[in-house]
Amino acid sequence: MGVVAMQGSFAKHAYSMGRLGIKSRAVRTPEDLKLVDALILPGGESTTMTLLLENEGLWEPLDAALETLPVFGTCAGAILLGRQIDDERVRCFNRIDYLAERNAYGRQIDSFTTSLIIPSVMENDFHAIFIRAPKFHEINADIEILAAFGSDPVLLRKGKVLVASFHPELTEDSSIHKYFVDEIVLKSR
């Protein structure tokens, strides 16, 4: 599993994969991209991540890799995978058709946790941590909504692209990572 390691919660994603017996590689260079079967684009700060990806010469190679590799984007990662938003500091990969609204629940102090029911992924509830999370708008009808918080879709899938507005890597439960591996990565080979 390649975990894009520019900034943000990349190490925690590697732990989540490790619990499933899956090895991760931190992706920092175009060469790293050639050595992975799937990608995680972690949470962090989408403006900073855009800047670092561009400065490190990784934005274009990553864009090319996303043509073929399955990807799981969380929070800022989900913002970057969506349709281009109206913020010139953020450059989106346009891999899943929605408009992300950044910091849609408020500031850091408004971060929260909640229980989500995700029937297609697991039987038990999932303890979800939302940190300056985005909301997704204008969601294309071909996108599968796997979980919602109230009326807000929070876990979505389009083909080999999985996105969460929360942080599944910050809980001990690797069920969503397992879903990504079993249902998306292994089945798209």
The 10 Å CB-count burial string (b at 16+, else e) for 114-145 is eebebeebeeeebebbbbbbbbbeebeeebee
Return the structure tokens found at 2. 């390649």
Using CB under 6 A, pick the residue from 20, 56, 83, 103 that binds ligand GLN. Answer: 103
Using CB under 6 A, pick the residue from 38, 41, 85, 131 that binds ligand GLN. Answer: 131
Q: How far is the CB of 48 from ligand GLN (least distance, A)?
A: 8
Instruction: From the candidates 45, 75, 92, 177, give the one annotated as an active-site residue.
Output: 75
Q: Catalytic annotation on 169?
A: yes
Report residue 133: phi and psi, to 5°.
-80, 155
Q: Catalytic annotation on 75?
A: yes
What is the distance of C-alpha 140 from the center of its chain?
18
184 neighbors 162 (Cβ within 8 angstroms): yes
| Alpha-helix residue ranges (DSSP H) falling in 131-187 | 175-179
Q: Report the candidate in 20, 10, 4 with the shortest Cα–Cα distance to residue 170.
A: 10
Task: Determine the interface stretch with ligand GLN among 42-50, 136-144, 146-154, 177-185 (rule: CB under 6 A).
Answer: 42-50
Rule CB under 6 A: say whether 71 interacts with ligand GLN: no
Rule CB under 6 A: say whether 116 interacts with ligand GLN: no
Q: How far is the CB of 44 from ligand GLN (least distance, A)?
A: 5
Rule CB under 6 A: say whether 2 interacts with ligand GLN: no
Q: Report the candidate in 94, 95, 77, 177 with the shortest Cα–Cα distance to residue 134.
A: 77
Rule CB under 6 A: say whether 5 interacts with ligand GLN: no
Using CB under 6 A, pick the residue from 2, 43, 61, 168 that binds ligand GLN. Answer: 43
Enumerate binding residues for ligand GLN (CB under 6 A).
43-46, 75-76, 79, 102-103, 131-132
